[in-house]
Structure 1
Amino acid sequence: MHELNVADKSGVQALPATVARRWGAVDGLVHCAGIIQPFTRLKDLDFETIDRVFSVNWSGTLYLTKTFLPVLLDRPEGHIVNVSSMGGFLPVPGQTIYGASKAAVKLLTEGLHAECEGTTVRVTSVFPGGVATNIGANSGVAMPVDEAAAARQAGRITTPERAARDILDGMERDAYRVLIGSDARMMDRLYRLSPRRAAGLIATKMKDLLNR
């Protein structure tokens, strides 16, 4: 294990050599580090919180992707997987900054996919819905409700183990995108059919939480 602050550019840039010395060649990168913001409107967020979310979710993804890309291009075959979010294609009021950072990850990864056509590197974007990773506590954010318990009761929560299997299956298939969980798959379909309706549905669900 190598402990790393993904927002530390110099630390990330030193990682490939460290990993190579310990483990040998690197053939793949799965980047899933991410944090959420407090459940509040943009007008009530301070810039320190905004910068923290973007430094982990956006800068961390960019640093790792760009640092490992030359390493993987030198391998017979390589794969980069970046984890965006259902919130990266569907706006969630109260998580606007989180969603914006994950939307940036989406476009970075899709752009890289196009740039890597004709090379030995494959690129996959991942869009999880609700996954039982305790992201609120791990982000230092108080959850407005016990969302993990509520989602579990509704049968919509995905276990980390299932999410990992789906990601690895996507890598093996050279998938362009991987949707994790029935909630992500359902909202992806709805958003593509009617973006405004899908956004309105989520906004209605978030309204009471934001008014507390």
Structure 2
Amino acid sequence: MRIEKKTVVVTGAGSGIGRELCIQLLQKGANVAGVDINPIALQETRQLSGVNAERFKEFAFDITDKEKADRLPQEVVDHFGAADGLINNAGIIQPFKPVADLTMEEIQRVINVNFWGALYLTKAFLPLFLQRPEAHIVNISSMGGFIAFPGQTVYGAAKAAVKLFTEGLYAELRATQVHVTIVHPGAIATNITENSGLGKPKNDVNAAQTSMALSASKAAAIILAAIEKNKFRVTVGRDAALLDILYRLNPRLATNFIGKMMKKTLQHT
């Protein structure tokens, strides 16, 4: 889908990849409806983008609120006149601990944000998109959506659900003008740990993760290029690409390898 002059909805627009997606979409000539639970962060995104409310409109709400999600398409159309794309980017990780130590409240929160939030907004916008000459839905999964990361098992399960939901949606919409893309980012330099309500990572862990991580700006550029090429699936970062290959060749070896890596992380959290 050509991005210029389109109106795209981006969730998690207040920071990280979401913020970079908004800025780069605006630079490419799109209008953006930015969604985030944090209204101040949304204002910062608009200020950084250097545009006014005619190009970037802030919608501050919790994407797990189905009633508000259902109202969003009409609100976007009322402001911009149309809606052509949806990037379900918002997501949170779980506390770094095994399933046995997680509370049901922690589990439900991770699944609600990562899966149900994306599903609510997709369902809300799909009837509108089917009436457009062309539209695009992008769902952000994770490396954890195709390979297990101990200590992030529920997060991975939610992202795996996003993966299969998106692939099924792609198959259902193949004969329509609505394109669908699933994205599997690797390690990206964002503040997802803080945004997930888990506080700041310890310096040694954070430094190690940041040194290996792709910048949010580069990740956003890869995702937008995938939209413009109507790609079905894209991995973001060398780590995601390599793990994808390893998992396809030997799932058990790949799972054991990640298990050893995550054991070191869990010891430092």
Higher strand share: 2
Q: Which residue of 2 aligns with 1:150?
A: 208
- The equivalent of 2:225 in structure 1 is 169
**Greater length-normalized contact order (CA 8 Å, ≥ 6 residues apart):** 1
Q: Distance in 2 between matches of 1:95 and 1:12?
A: 27
For the 8 Å contact 1:39–1:144, the answer to whether it is kept is: no
Unaligned runs of 5+ in 2: 1-57
Secondary structure of the 1:125 match is strand
1:151 CA displacement: 3.2
Q: Distance in 1 between matches of 2:233 and 2:163?
A: 10
User: Once the 2 structures are TM-superposed, how far is the Cα of residue 209 of structure 1 from its aligned partner?
Assistant: 3.6
Take 1:196 and 1:72, find their aligned partners in 2: how far apart are those partners? 40
State how far apart, in whole Å, the 2-side matches of 1:99 and 1:129 are: 13
Q: Deviations over 1:42-65 (max 9, x none)?
A: 000000000100110011011011
1:122 to 179, 200, 217: 179
Is the 1:148–1:157 contact (alpha carbons within 8 Å) kept by the matching residues of 2?
A: no
Q: How does 1:1-150 map to 2 (within 5 A)?
A: 1-142=58-199, 143=201, 146-150=204-208
1:169-199 CA distances to partner (integer Å, 9 max, x unpaired)?
0011111111111110110111111111110
- SS of equivalent residue, structure 2 residue 224: helix
Contact 1:110/1:125 (8 A) holds in 2: yes
> Could you tell me whether the CA contact under 8 Å between 2:205 and 2:265 is conserved in 1?
no
Give the alignment's TM-score, normalised by structure 2.
Answer: 0.75
Any conservation in 2 of the 1:112–1:123 contact (CA below 8 Å)? yes
What code does the residue aligned with 1:151 have? Q
Residues 6 and 166 (structure 1), Cα distance of their counterparts in 2 relative to 1, 3 Å cut? same
Q: Which amino acid aligns with 2:148?
A: P
Q: Deviations over 1:87-133 (max 9, x none)?
A: 00010000000000000000000000000011000000000011111
Cα displacement string for residues 13-62 of structure 1 (whole angstroms, at most 9, x for unaligned residues)? 00001111111211111110000000000000000000100110011011
Structure 2 partner of 1:188: 244
Aligned match of 1:202: 258
2:128 aligned partner, one-letter code: V
Q: CA deviation at 1:144?
A: 5.8
Count of matched residue pairs = 210
Equivalents in 2 of 1:208, 1:133: separation in Å?
Answer: 20
- Aligned residues: CA RMSD: 1.3
Indicate the percent of aligned positions where both proteins have the same amino acid.
50
CA contact (8 A) 2:138 2:181 kept: yes
Q: TM-score, with normalisation over the residues of structure 1?
A: 0.95
Between the aligned partners of 1:95 and 1:145, the Cα distance in structure 2 is 20
Query: CA–CA distance in 1 between the matches of 2:202 and 2:112?
Result: 24
| Partner SS, residue 175 of structure 1 | coil
